[in-house]
């Protein structure tokens, strides 16, 4: 499991994070923004659904900085695990913000005093457990952060690359499906509370989608029907723990709002790019010429990740009422 800041000590990690947050606040308060965004910044935590280049600088095989990834993105292969923009990119656009830069590529921009409007801490193939500190004077930072959305996608790899991977992990021997779901929820809740203690108030959290329907699962596990229902039932146990947990946090953490994004996509079509392991893994490098010509008509780009179908998800969560509960992102940005 990759931890995006694993090579930095917890104390240095916190101080660097606080430095970035203070620089963000300074730039925003001095009026360097060219227009009026709906929020001062967007902070992103998660896995490959949101990763936009952090894994490029990590010693991991989970990378997407090569063709055909980015085939429909104007900057090409940047490390995004899709053909174009991620859902986090679309949400940033809807907020009127630039894309939140990858954390590991951010320090140079901070030192050059560029305008900073968020940070992306997402790392492909990881389950992110953020370590933070307490007892710091964070009054000014808290005021700034309270108006900035925090976007999370967590838990997918705890199933895909852990609980369901009996060859490399023994989690199933120690945890029943229900107790594992409780373990994940129990680990996530205090981390969200730590960010709240730093000043975060507006959270958008993805539930785990039906991973029994992704091409990787379809290829690897025996099943009847179009999806591996056994896997989707495992995830459902977590989501049943997840929603009440977020509701409880909203009621107990003063002035906080937690939006749950419900992913109901159950398409199990083959991936758009030519992928390793019989179309069940990442894209094979430099075979973009063999990828589907109209990726917007396909749900999956590789064995795990969506195409720019992300636009539909982001649009509905930003303006609609069907997948984001109890309010959409546009409503979240309104003054408290």
Rg (CA), the chain: 19
d(C-alpha 69, C-alpha 77), whole Å: 5
- Kindly give, in sequence order, each residue whose CB lies less than 8 Å from that of residue 271, ignoring residues fewer than 6 positions away: 215, 279, 283, 298, 300, 301, 302, 303
- CB-based burial of residue 229 (10 Å sphere; 0-12 exposed, 13-18 middle, 19+ buried)? middle
Phi, psi angle pair for 120, to nearest 5°: -110, 115
Annotation marks residue 27 as catalytic: no
d(C-alpha 217, C-alpha 223), whole Å: 9
Distance of CA 140 to the CA centre of its chain: 26
Annotation marks residue 48 as catalytic: yes
Phi, psi angle pair for 178, to nearest 5°: -70, -40
d(C-alpha 42, C-alpha 209), whole Å: 22
d(C-alpha 250, C-alpha 236), whole Å: 22
Residue 271 has which token pair?
A: 């991936």
Annotation marks residue 302 as catalytic: yes
Phi, psi angle pair for 84, to nearest 5°: -145, -120
User: Residues for the chain: how many in total?
Assistant: 336
d(C-alpha 135, C-alpha 219), whole Å: 49
**Active-site choice (48, 123, 148, 275):** 48
- Kindly give, in sequence order, each residue whose CB lies less than 8 Å from that of residue 182, ignoring residues fewer than 6 positions away: 241
**Active-site choice (51, 89, 216, 305):** 305
- Looking at the annotation, which residues are catalytic? 48, 302, 305
């Amino acid at each position: 499991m990759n931890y995006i800041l694993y090579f930095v000590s917890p104390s240095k990690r916190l101080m660097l994070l606080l430095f970035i947050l203070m620089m963000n606040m300074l730039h925003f308060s001095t009026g360097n923004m060219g227009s009026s965004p709906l929020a001062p910044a967007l902070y992103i935590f998660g896995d490959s659904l949101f990763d936009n280049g952090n894994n490029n600088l990590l010693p991991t095989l989970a990378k997407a900085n090569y063709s055909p990834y980015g085939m429909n993105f104007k900057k090409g292969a940047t490390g995004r695990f899709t053909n174009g923009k991620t859902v986090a990119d679309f949400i940033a656009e809807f907020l009127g913000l630039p894309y939140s830069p990858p954390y590991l590529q951010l320090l140079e921009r901070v030192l050059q005093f560029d305008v900073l409007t968020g940070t992306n801490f997402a790392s492909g193939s990881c389950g992110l457990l953020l370590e933070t500190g307490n007892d710091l004077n964070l009054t000014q930072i808290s005021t700034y952060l309270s108006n900035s959305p925090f976007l999370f996608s967590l838990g997918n790899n705890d199933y895909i690359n852990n609980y369901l991977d009996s060859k490399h992990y023994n989690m199933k021997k120690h945890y029943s499906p229900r107790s594992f779901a409780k373990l994940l929820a129990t680990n996530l809740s205090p981390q969200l509370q730590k960010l709240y203690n730093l000043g975060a108030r507006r959270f958008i959290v993805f539930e785990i989608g039906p991973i029994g329907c992704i091409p990787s699962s379809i290829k690897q596990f025996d099943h009847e029907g179009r999806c591996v229902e056994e896997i989707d039932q495992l995830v459902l146990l977590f989501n049943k723990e997840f929603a009440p947990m977020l509701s409880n946090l909203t009621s107990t953490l003063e002035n906080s709002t937690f939006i749950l994004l419900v992913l109901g996509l159950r398409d199990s079509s083959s991936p758009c790019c030519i992928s390793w392991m019989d179309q069940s893994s990442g894209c094979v490098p430099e075979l973009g010429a063999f990828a589907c010509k109209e990726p917007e008509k396909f749900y999956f780009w590789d064995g795990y990740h969506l195409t720019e179908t992300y636009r539909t998800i982001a649009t509905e969560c930003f303006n609609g009422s069907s997948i984001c509960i109890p309010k959409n992102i546009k409503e979240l940005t309104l003054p408290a």
